[in-house]
Structure 1
Amino acid sequence: MPPKKNSVSNSTSPHAELIIEGARQNNLKNISLSIPHNAVTVITGVSGSGKSSLAFDTLFAEGQWRYVESLSSYTRMFLDRVKRPDVDRLTNIRPSIALEQKNPIRTSRSTVGTTSEISDYLRLLFAKIGRLTCPDCKLEAVAHHPTTVAQDLLDRFPKQRALVCFPKSAPHPDALEFMTTSLLKQGFIRVVINQQLINLNTDAFPSPLPSELLVVLDRLTLDQES
């Protein structure tokens, strides 16, 4: 009978990963996890989820503390004391290095999108093939030519009276007379307030005034001649 071969275990080395148990530093809620060594590990999450508390205040702080403790007492005199993190156990941790998240060189290309030039192409995509949607009516915003706008009005409101207006912020009651005089000097004699046509020469302003009024630029009848 041939000798029985020893089975080879496929388990990884017990030192192949960093093991964190019961991390409670800052806003960490007693979390436990393992992070593989010799690999790139990204810690992501929303703001305030504890990314910095885990990476800097727990892993870096413990690795730095253990490294400093391995030095002689004379050398430790010249180093800042590192506070140990609030964690039950950290296994297989190595000496750590932390890089400050700061770019001393100020430039317009300071983000990942601008540095990689992805933002330039995204800007072209949004400008050329993007579709702008109104947040209120949920309809697609389409650019119109004045001719198409005029034809649409003729088709929808034939032979009806129309006002061409532009919005203007309503002034403080103390400055109402100044606004009236200024509009009259510019040739505007009518405004629309609360869907009511007001003649600046003869009519009184309603009270209270809304936050915005419409200055009448022109009055016309919707037909081909006008």
Structure 2
Amino acid sequence: MSCGELTESDFGLCGACWGDTPFIGGTVCESCGVPVIGSADRFRTECDDCLKTPPPWNAGRAALMYDGKARSLVLALKHGDRTELARPAARWMAQAGRDLLRPGMVIAPVPLHWSRLLKRRYNQSALLARNLGQETGLDCVPDLLVRKRRTPVLDGKTARERGDVLADAIDIHPRRALHLMGRDVLLVDDVMTSGATLAACTRACQAAGANHIFVLALARVAKDA
């Protein structure tokens, strides 16, 4: 799925690409999923950034670091029409987020504005969410959230600037609010950078009466990137 070499199963990685793909393992921040130094204990493990500015969701995880082969795979899914990558990626995400899954939880992707969706033709986060629902047996509501206005590209902006851009940009689809009342929600995105987009989605879900909110990304940008 990365270099085109033959593998033993469909949608697999050859040994070389597997070794070059930065899967996240070991001790991670329980809020954002970034790897941290040390071993887990009975206390909640968090990175310095999440201790300083706690995210609004309950817990978060990611399957990969956004670097090397992982970055290439994410970009192929996002911009290269490699929609078939969503299925194996969802398997990796299910493994990375196994501690977040709850009975009766609803899965929802980060939404695209309709104009961007029209140009791209698909929402990569929605593809991941659908496949994750099939992988876990949990309900997936692809249009649970809507982006009310088109926001500029967030690359290069600080966390504060990203938050300002996204303020009031995301809301619950008026016909989907009943899916949220009193339920746990798993928000799905392809890449988590500052977490501003997922924070905006979290606040929209909380305002609509959701219970606990968890986030799961395919890839996590390193804090010093």
Q: Per the shorter chain, which TM-score range?
A: under 0.3
User: Quick check: which has more Rg, 1 or 2?
Assistant: 1
Whose RCO is larger (CA < 8 A, sep 6+)? 2
Give the number of the structure whose residues are more often strand, by fraction: 1
TM-score with structure 2 setting the length: 0.18
Give the number of the structure whose residues are more often helix, by fraction: 2
